[in-house]
Structure 1
Amino acid sequence: MDGSDEASSQEKTTNHAGLAAATEKERSILEACRWRDLEALRAFAESPGGFLTDRIRQHAWPVLLGLPPSHGNGSVDSGVEEGETGSWKELPRHRDEDQVQLDVNRAFIYYPENQNEAELARQKDELSALILEVLRRHPYLCYFQGYHDICQVFLLVLPPAVRTPAVARLSALRIRDFMLPSLTPAVRQLRLIPDILRAADPQLWRHLSATEPFFALAGMLTMYAHDITTLGEISRLFDVLLAREPVFSVYMFAAIVRSRRAELFETPQDEPEMLHSILCKLPRPLDLESLITAACALLNAYPPESLAAWRTISHASVLRTARVPDACATQSMADGQVFFERQVAELRWLERRDKIMEVLWRYRRPARSLGFAVLIGVAALLLRKHPGPAAYVSGLVSRWVRL
């Protein structure tokens, strides 16, 4: 046997071994889906290749999102409320539908490839219907630009029967913070990134200290679907994002920042705009396997409870209500709405408090500082417990400072 024949034989043996290993992994993942073994699925999602194929993802993703084995039965609801048997098209329009249509018109830019006009039009109609059904059935949710990027992946991977309940549960239980009427909770998530860098890489943290973490906003909001341009890569990343707790996405971006360490140090610290521009775009090529491993290591070494910015995260945020990986699979859609309404109430309280503080600061008078302190204390207490009387106190403050 000459050298070329021997090399060819070794290559065939290697390929055969790799195929056998993939086949065994596939069988093991499907078995874990059958038994709804979330811990095993999480391990497979973190391992190289994740769930391997879309055919396997069609079994694994619904389990991770808490859909019951038989649609409509089981202890965990499917995302369609009991009694909602009518067509979603008969439900009232959602307030954000015009923006939905604008975004759907821009969908399917990178994948799937080689579509003709008729196929593209059909998929856009399906995407629009998927988003509108979720929003009309759960009208408390607020649409955000980039939501269509996430839904596009679910549409291309999952079969029609489970798309709507899967996206509904994802929306209410995993990305709820981004579907509130304010971006404040999303910004608070971003503030965790500098804290992770400070703990894991103080030198890099100091280099980026003048750069706000808003570079991560598009990636975080869209589960990276806005920035990753191949279906295979984004589906692979969704494997682990759905298997891990929601805060994992924050650690994923911290790992991405650290992976660009050498490149970032080539840009001076006093040029935050340039650093921001670099970090707004994901590195190419994107070594997802290494980044997933790095993100897991960061989360294990520096859990969110050890970060200063964690204190600013609402107790109704998905980062806290789904702090353990299995929480999203066991919570109900009703739970998601309760948490949503709790966060909205907190946001309204913060807005009222900030307005009172602004008035006090604008009209502050040293001689009346004690009186102001008493008023702001009473106002804060009432705002939290009794929003109605608080409005009276707010007006009282305004009149007092103008005397």
Structure 2
Amino acid sequence: MAREQEDADGREEEKDINGADDHHHDDEPALAHAQESRILDACRRRDIDDLQVLAVSRGGFLSDAIRRQAWPVLLGFTVDEHGEQGGSSDSWRKLARHKDEDQVKLDVDRSFVYYPDDDTQAQLDLKKTALSDLITEVLRRQPYLSYFQGYHDICQVFLLVLPPSSRAAAVSRLSGLRIRDFMLPSLGPAISQLRLIPDIISAVDPALCAHVGRTEPYFALSDTLTMFAHNVRRYADIARLFDALLAREQVFSLYVFAQIVLTRRAELFDHDEPDMLHFALSKLPQDLDLDAVIRDAAILFDKHPPETLRNWGKISNASALKTGRRVDECSRQGLAEGFAYFEMQQKELRWAARRQKAMKTVWANRTVILAVVIGIGAVYFRKAPFWMNLVSRSMPNHYF
């Protein structure tokens, strides 16, 4: 009886988040159908809380047909039952050219490297044209946004998943409300986000954090900037990962990266040189169990929420990490609100740049400034003999 109970307990532990037993494959079609029904029902009710749970569960949203319903809900715009949005227009073509369109062309020319892998050259050329139009439309309609290299990797996933009439709305809202920090004139806010990754790792594994801390967290820049789309090579994997990233708050991508680092603990301790460590961390393993990574990242988030992280207080209050702290609230924001937050961040960047320039000027002229201060002090002290006598006792004679 004891052995039978152990076997029963073991089978219970093997069940996934939906209660599915990995060894009972006969049940999988029924479970998938049940999950599909739950997702579509949540989409009809526009229930973001339910979609967040389902996005983390095994398989995420299961198929592109379902994603066409779920992603617009998470991003805060409306589509019909086929995932189509009305009111598409080519009026953007008459708008002023965006300053970054030349770079867009260069990046689009080298897009669709890993997927789709069964298209003819003619089909790929059509997709590249559509991708260029998608990015250009978003940038012309929101000209304040700055393009960054890797943005095309994100956009090509939306192009492959969503129908043409929904793509621009999805990418526009993602850009203005979710990844806005990356589309400022400076990458400073993006770098500030990276400082949270060591904080997350430290909360779980201080020794690993100390080891990884031998190199700056710039190793995570490519993956966090592009929502992992630059380095994930399988279309099914990146679409599934996008389910979770869109369903969760923007900061969740940092927890995903931190969780990947935690799963690679043994491998990373094999690298002692900072350069080799940086190289290893910047290369995303292609054999990741994404369902497990996403599940564990969600647990990590719940145990160590952003507000408990040491560097969270240094993140701007206008950052998308904070203005999009709740997905349901972010989904109700308008692009005008995104622009207002963008302006606030831009003002902060300008002020920080002026302060840094002033500090450099002071440091470069520190000798002259010190001489002037001492000179002024000397004149003042000569007019006040009592203070002159008092200070002269504690300062070298050559100052007076």
TM-score range (shorter-chain normalised) is 0.7 to 0.9
CA drift of 1:326 comes to 1.8
- Cα separation, partners in 2 of 1:287 and 1:370, compared to 1, 3 Å: farther
Once the two structures are TM-superposed, the CA of residue 325 in structure 1 deviates from its matched residue by 2.7
* Deviation for aligned residue 1:366: 3.6
The aligned residue for residue 258 of structure 2 is 254
Deviations along 1:216-243, one digit per CA (max 9) or x if unpaired, are: 0000000000000111000000000000
Measured after TM superposition, the shift of residue 208 of structure 1 is 1.7
Q: Please, what TM-score do these two structures have when normalized by structure 2?
A: 0.84
1:21 aligns with 2:23: no
> Offset at 1:363?
1.3
Question: Any idea what SS the aligned residue of 2:327 has?
Answer: coil
**C-alpha spacing 1:35/1:368, structure 2 compared with 1 (3 Å):** farther
Does 2:351 align with 1:349? Answer: yes
Name the larger-Rg structure. 2
Amino acid at match of 1:50: G
Contact 1:51/1:239 (<8 A) preserved: yes
| Structure 1 partner of 2:220 | 216
Cα distance in 1, alignment partners of residues 35 and 332 from structure 2:
25
Deviation of the 1:95 alpha carbon: 0.3
Distance 2:338 2:373 in 1: 42
Matched to 1:361, the amino acid is W
C-alpha displacement at 1:125, in angstroms? 0.4
Residue matched to 2:10: none
- The equivalent position to 1:267 in structure 2, one of 244, 265, 271, is 271
2:177–2:335 CA contact under 8 A, matched in 1: yes
CA contact (8 A) 1:79 1:164 kept: no
Deviation at 1:280, TM superposition (A): 0.6
Taking the aligned partners of 1:370 and 1:171, their CA distance within structure 2 comes to: 53
Counterpart of 1:24 in structure 2: which amino acid?
A
Task: Please tell me whether the aligned partners of residues 215 and 279 of structure 1 are also in contact (alpha carbons under 8 angstroms).
Answer: yes
Give, in angstroms, the shift of residue 369 of structure 1.
6.0
1:270-317 Cα shifts (integer Å, max 9, x gaps)? x11000010111113011011112211221111121122112211100
Partners of 1:195 and 1:172 lie apart in 2 by 27
Matched, 1:165 2:169: yes
Listed as ranges, the matches of 1:286-305 within 5 Å are: 286-305=288-307
* Equivalent residue letter for 1:111: Y
Partner of 1:36 in structure 2? 46
Matched, 1:187 2:197: no
Distance (Å, rounded) in 1 between the aligned partners of 2:344 and 2:289: 39
d(CA) in 1 for partners of 2:274 and 2:86?
Answer: 43
Q: What amino acid sits opposite 2:239 in the alignment?
A: S
Residue among 143, 146, 165 paired with 1:142: 146
Taking the aligned partners of 1:57 and 1:68, their CA distance within structure 2 comes to: 13
Q: Counterpart in 1 of 2:65? A: 55
Q: Are the counterparts in 2 of residues 172 and 336 from structure 1 also a CA contact under 8 Å?
A: yes
Label 1:79 to 1:175 Cα distance change in 2 as closer, same or farther (>3 A). farther
SS of the residue corresponding to residue 49 of structure 1 reads: coil
Q: Say whether 1:101 aligns with 2:105.
A: yes
TM-score by length of 1: 0.83
The one-character-per-residue Cα deviations of 1:65-121 (angstroms, maximum 9, x if unpaired) are 0002569xxxxxx999xxx96611111100000000000000111111111111011
**Conserved? CA contact 1:260–1:283, under 8 Å:** no
Query: Which structure 1 residue ranges, 5 or more long, are not aligned?
Result: 1-12, 72-77, 373-403
Give the Cα separation in 2 of the matches to 1:69 and 1:258.
Answer: 39
Tell me, in whole angstroms, the C-alpha distance in 2 between the residues paired with 1:245 and 1:369.
51
Letter in 2 for 1:356: A
> What is aligned with 1:285?
287
Q: Is the 8 A contact 2:220 2:282 kept in 1?
A: yes
- Match for 1:312 among 303, 310, 314? 314
Contact map agreement 1:51 1:57 (CA 8 A) in 2:
yes
Q: Which amino acid in structure 2 is aligned with residue 108 of structure 1?
A: F
Q: For the residues of structure 2 that align with 1:294 and 1:14, how far apart are their CA atoms? A: 23
Unaligned runs of 5+ in 2: 1-22, 377-400
C-alpha root-mean-square deviation of aligned residues, in Å?
Answer: 2.1
Q: Is the CA contact 2:79–2:166 (under 8 Å) kept in the aligned structure 1?
A: no
Cα distance in 1, alignment partners of residues 245 and 277 from structure 2: 26
Residues 169-211 of structure 1 show CA distances to partners (whole Å, capped at 9, x for unaligned) of: 0000000000000000000000111111122110101112211
Equivalent in the alignment of 2:78: 68
Q: Which amino acid aligns with 1:318?
A: A
